[in-house]
Amino acid sequence: MNYGILAWKNLARRPVRTALTVVGVGMATAVAVSLGGFNLGFRAAISRSIEQLGFQVMIMAKGCPYEAATLMLKGGTGLLYLPESAHEQIRTDPDIEAITPVFLGVAEKPAGGPEENTGPSAFTLIAGIERESYAKMKPWLQFKSGPGFDGGRWFSPDAAAEAVMGFEAAEYEQRKVGDLFYITVVPHGKTEPEFHAFRIVGVLERTGTQDDGTVFVPLHTAQRIFGREGQLTIVGVTLRQFNAIRMREFEGRWMSIPEVQVVSLEQVKGALVSLVGTAQTMVAAVAVIAILVAMIGVLNAILMSVYERTAEFGILKAIGAERRQIFYLVCLETLILCFAGALAGSGVAAGGAGLTDATLRRLLNLGLTQPMVLITPRLLAAAIGGAIALGLLAALWPAARAAALRPVEAIRNQE
């Protein structure tokens, strides 16, 4: 016989009440863990997604910079373009370590080849890039190897009909090195679609970024087929020294170009975090309410138990229990309730992280490729510890009440 067994058997007297209390604590813990996981994961996902763009600074046509950044992350295209001459001007800046111009366009994919262009169409993202500067900006890009993929390479600078496919684009289209890839595009200023075929010269390894779903073609080829010669979607820049002062200086030098804006991805990161901050605050409020409700549930369950067992506590004191032993017993019962609930809730939250991630991804369509819910052992430990601490806080009053019962009165009241 020990306190643990005694506490457990006391809880087992009212299995339904005990189970409901555990479920309440579990639900509150699951909400808290999921929210905490979202807070951790969302910031990390934004950071990683933006870092994997490879840029520190984006230069683009004036408009909403956050929308532009989100489109970049999601792989969309902007409605506004900046002149290619801006790139020529900016690249002379002495603070620049690397710079790359990018043109993005969306092309339609015929269902089959040119002979069987009858089925339903789909769309693909075409990125026109300068291979050297782009590869320098993203040194982690590697060509896939293996049967059908060996010998992958970047396209020749002015090749009109060569393309490199991202990992998922190639997998989706079932294309290998040497295969042909077809698109149709309605060029700017025209009404009739034009058909284009590209030879795949390389397939990239998976990066976990939007690059995986992109088809890369030479910059001038992309500009030409979309009818946007001399125009860019963005210019990506990394600076030799990236800090707030350098960024402000750099921004000051180039904001003077008409129709051009300079956006730090740190700013974008902050803006995206704050955009979701309101939602996070609301969810946090819901979590706090859930936790308070669970605490009241624990308080109610323990208080009911103490009321029901008034005579029993009197007897326990008569047979030798001290105040602190009764206090400890009631707290131990609460601890078992809260630990069981917190463990179950944490398990549900950890096990259902994928589902939570998918739900959040659908609700907050920010184009983040990284997991938005990050449940760490530390978070789980904090949630379990917090549930136990709050549970014990709720148990203080009932435990003190039980401990303070005078044996004679306790026994007499329920005789």
Partner 1 sequence: MPTTPLISGYGLQRHYRRGIETVRALDGVDLEIRAGESLAVIGPSGSGKTTLLNVLAGLDAPTGGQLTIGGQRVDGLSEQQLTTVRRGFFGFVFQNFHLIPTLTVAENIVLPLLFLRRPVVRHEVEQVLEAVGLSHRAHHYPRELSGGQMQRVAVGRALIVRPRVLVADEPTGNLDTVTADAIVSLFLTLVNREGLALLLSTHNLELASRCDRIIRLKDGQIVPPVSPPQSLR
Binding residues vs partner 1 (CB under 8 A) = 1-3, 5-6, 9-10, 12-13, 311-312, 315-323, 325, 406-408, 411, 415
Pick 249 or 322: Cβ nearer partner 1: 322
Least distance in angstroms from the C-beta of 313 to partner 1: 11
> Do 61 and 234 contact (CB within 8 A), yes or no?
no
Helices 3-12 and 15-51: crossing angle in degrees, nearest 10, is 100
Residue 277 identity (one-letter amino acid):
G
Least distance in angstroms from the C-beta of 403 to partner 1: 10
Pick 273 or 304: Cβ nearer partner 1: 304
Angle at 10 between CA 392 and CA 321, to 5 degrees: 80
Handedness of CA 3, 5, 9, 12 (dihedral sign): positive
Least distance in angstroms from the C-beta of 335 to partner 1: 17
Pick 13 or 153: Cβ nearer partner 1: 13
Residue 117 identity (one-letter amino acid):
N
- Give the long-range contacts of residues 145-153, CB within 8 A, separation 24 or more: 148/176, 148/177, 148/178, 149/176, 149/177, 149/203, 150/177, 151/177, 152/177, 152/201, 152/202, 152/203, 152/204, 153/201, 153/202
Pick 22 or 200: Cβ nearer partner 1: 22
Pick 160 or 315: Cβ nearer partner 1: 315
> Do 201 and 152 contact (CB within 8 A), yes or no?
yes
Pick 320 or 377: Cβ nearer partner 1: 320
User: Position of tokens 């269902």?
Assistant: 111
Least distance in angstroms from the C-beta of 316 to partner 1: 7
Pick 268 or 405: Cβ nearer partner 1: 405
Least distance in angstroms from the C-beta of 397 to partner 1: 20
Cα separation, 336 vs 6, in Å, equals 11
Least distance in angstroms from the C-beta of 332 to partner 1: 12
Least distance in angstroms from the C-beta of 407 to partner 1: 5
Least distance in angstroms from the C-beta of 320 to partner 1: 4
Residue 246 identity (one-letter amino acid):
R
Pick 315 or 396: Cβ nearer partner 1: 315
Least distance in angstroms from the C-beta of 351 to partner 1: 32
> Do 61 and 262 contact (CB within 8 A), yes or no?
no
Pick 301 or 411: Cβ nearer partner 1: 411
Cα separation, 232 vs 128, in Å, equals 9
Least distance in angstroms from the C-beta of 330 to partner 1: 14
Pick 248 or 406: Cβ nearer partner 1: 406
Q: Minimal CA–CA distance to 243: which of 90, 66, 57?
A: 57
